[in-house]
Amino acid sequence: MSKSFKGASFGGSEYRKGALERLRESQLLLSNEQFAGSIYLAGRGVEGMLRAVIWLSDVQIQQGKKALETGHDLRRLLTLIRETGLLGPEDRNDELGAALQKVARLWKNELRFSSGRFIETWWWSLAEVNKRRSFKQASREFFEACSVVIKRCEALCQR
């Protein structure tokens, strides 16, 4: 059963469509050097696409018998995807896992309230930004990691 919004239903397909839109919006912001917004939306896109995979593969969630209560924990969402059996043992250390770990380390839902300067300072403390790597470069690499996760999940949604 999909979540109901007056006159519309919300489920895996809508999570998927929204995730793809967030990634496109993130790319627009990135190209205009609006890094904070780009980072937040790309991470939000990842969360949405992970939720889409789970929603589309779990009949109990679709029927409303089970809730998808993970908060915004991207690692937990990936664990739930692994539990569906969609990813085989060979996928444990694949590009998806590595990209998701990077995104999960650098993204928090609270970033929607954050300035670019705050994120840059936080990423500096994580050694993501440093004297050799600018916030601009790190933002582009973050976007690429998000793109990897979303593209891989998009393929999983097609199964």
List domains and CATH numbers for the chain.
3-157 (1.20.120.330)
Cα gap 50→77, rounded to integer Å: 6
Cβ neighbours, 10 Å, residue 57 = 19
Dump pLDDT digits (tens) for 36-85. 999 999 999 999 999 999 888 877 777 677 777 777 889 999 888 888 87
Cα gap 91→70, rounded to integer Å: 22
pTM: 0.89
| Amino acid residing at 85 | G
